[in-house]
Structure 1
């Protein structure tokens, strides 16, 4: 379900040791089901259902299938992306939910890699297709706070505990967010089925305050009158319906109305 990647631009930088210690920490200190993937081949560890290495030996199709299977079976997947810098590694990094760059001296590289991955996801169809294959129509985006998402660290016992705690906390947040997204998707699908002329009535019947439902109806009507397709207007405005109070939504509506009126004068 939740995938954490460990990487370094340098050979023999301790990526495998760090990722293995995090894998073992999570298995010891939580009740979560944890799996481990190593892009390269490990000498001592045996391959099992929850411990896979030599991932680079699999074809891209087999890698897709395996990751998809593991995401269904396990709560957290630790991905050791050490090995050498390769196209295969770079194509897998964008699917992780958190990315660690090993070694504090690599902090600048971490930020640059984050930017490259973001750019790559926009233009590389193979990466976009891989993400779509794993997550349906949802394009995964690394969170904007890079200090928390892409960091450097040294390999110490204390930091193993700190990072283990961080990953566990992040997993819990991720789980809650996903559940809320699933709930909102169900609500949105119900809203799309409401007849246009009865939108505010349908929203009220779904539990939205009447004043807010009526305001949202007027907002959508304004957008459609300006030429925006109805379904697109619903999609764009739905997050504001869920996250904004009546006062905040009213202020946004008034600001947009003011801006449109000002444009019409010119």
Structure 2
């Protein structure tokens, strides 16, 4: 369900040792089911279904299937990306829910890496589809906080501190996923409403009269600008759910004002 990555661009920086210690801590101190994936080879540990190594030998498609299957089976997966800079590693890093770049001296590198990851999510369809496939559409993410996406760790940072941080992140992520699931159920109901009866259908679902009417007007505006109806629904849905009538109205007014200025 929740994937945590450990990475460093510097060889022999202790990434594998650190990530294994966190994996062991989670198994010893929580009731969550934990698994471990190593991009490279584990020479001392006994591998099993929950402790996988030599991930680099799998094709990207095989890696995707493996991660997808394990995320369904385990609560937390620790991903040891190992101390190497390669195309294969960079392809998988965008899928993690929290990324630790090991070594305080790599802070600038980590910031650049995060920028690359965000860029990939926007423009690389293969990466974007992978993200959507595993985590659900980003449209429905309730909490988007960069502090929960990328973290910095001293190479000697206590395993307990990192373990506690990951566990706290997991709890937040779990709650978010439940909210996402509820939102997706509502969105599916909205998509089934006939286009010409959108306002009425929203009102019958429990949306306030004024807000339902405004949302329909907003969708009509987007369609008039050339946006596909279903795409307009998906893009505007988070504002319907998470914003008040006043906030939605203000956004609607700003958009109309912007369009007017362009003419």
* TM-score, scaled to structure 1: 0.86
Correspondence for 1:95:
95
Correspondence for 2:164:
165
Instruction: Write the distance in 2 (CA, Å) between the matches of 1:95 and 1:234.
Output: 26
**Count of residue correspondences:** 262
Correspondence for 2:70:
70
Instruction: Write the distance in 2 (CA, Å) between the matches of 1:222 and 1:123.
Output: 26
Correspondence for 1:112:
112
Contact conserved, 2:223 with 2:232, CA < 8 A, in 1? yes
Q: Describe how 1:194-205 pairs up with structure 2 within 5 A.
A: 194-205=193-204
Deviation at 1:33, TM superposition (A): 0.5
Correspondence for 2:8:
8
Instruction: Write the distance in 2 (CA, Å) between the matches of 1:139 and 1:91.
Output: 22
Question: Matched residue of 1:100: which SS?
Answer: strand
Contact conserved, 1:132 with 1:139, CA < 8 A, in 2? no
Contact conserved, 2:38 with 2:81, CA < 8 A, in 1? yes
Deviation at 1:190, TM superposition (A): 1.3
Correspondence for 2:250:
251
Correspondence for 1:40:
40
Instruction: Write the distance in 1 (CA, Å) between the matches of 2:262 and 2:86.
Output: 51
Instruction: Write the distance in 2 (CA, Å) between the matches of 1:90 and 1:19.
Output: 18
Correspondence for 1:179:
178
Instruction: Write the distance in 1 (CA, Å) between the matches of 2:23 and 2:95.
Output: 18
Question: Matched residue of 2:93: which SS?
Answer: helix
Contact conserved, 1:39 with 1:54, CA < 8 A, in 2? yes
Which structure: larger Rg?
A: 1
Correspondence for 2:221:
222
Taking structure 1 as reference, are residues 190 and 93 closer, same or farther at Cα in structure 2, changes over 3 Å only? Answer: same
Taking structure 1 as reference, are residues 41 and 232 closer, same or farther at Cα in structure 2, changes over 3 Å only? Answer: closer
1:127-169 deviations in whole A, cap 9, x for unaligned? 445546645776999x975455323222446x32221111111
- Return 109-118 or 126-135, whichever deviates more: 126-135
- Return 209-218 or 248-257, whichever deviates more: 248-257
Taking structure 1 as reference, are residues 228 and 87 closer, same or farther at Cα in structure 2, changes over 3 Å only? Answer: closer
- Return 55-64 or 238-247, whichever deviates more: 55-64
Contact conserved, 2:114 with 2:150, CA < 8 A, in 1? yes
Deviation at 1:36, TM superposition (A): 0.6
Gaps of 5+ in 2: none
Contact conserved, 2:13 with 2:83, CA < 8 A, in 1? no
Correspondence for 2:205:
206
Instruction: Write the distance in 1 (CA, Å) between the matches of 2:175 and 2:76.
Output: 14
Question: Matched residue of 1:78: which SS?
Answer: strand
Deviation at 1:13, TM superposition (A): 0.8
Question: Matched residue of 1:220: which SS?
Answer: helix
Taking structure 1 as reference, are residues 156 and 240 closer, same or farther at Cα in structure 2, changes over 3 Å only? Answer: same
1:4-36 deviations in whole A, cap 9, x for unaligned? 110111111111111011111111121110001
Instruction: Write the distance in 1 (CA, Å) between the matches of 2:30 and 2:45.
Output: 22
Deviation at 1:249, TM superposition (A): 1.7
Taking structure 1 as reference, are residues 207 and 76 closer, same or farther at Cα in structure 2, changes over 3 Å only? Answer: same
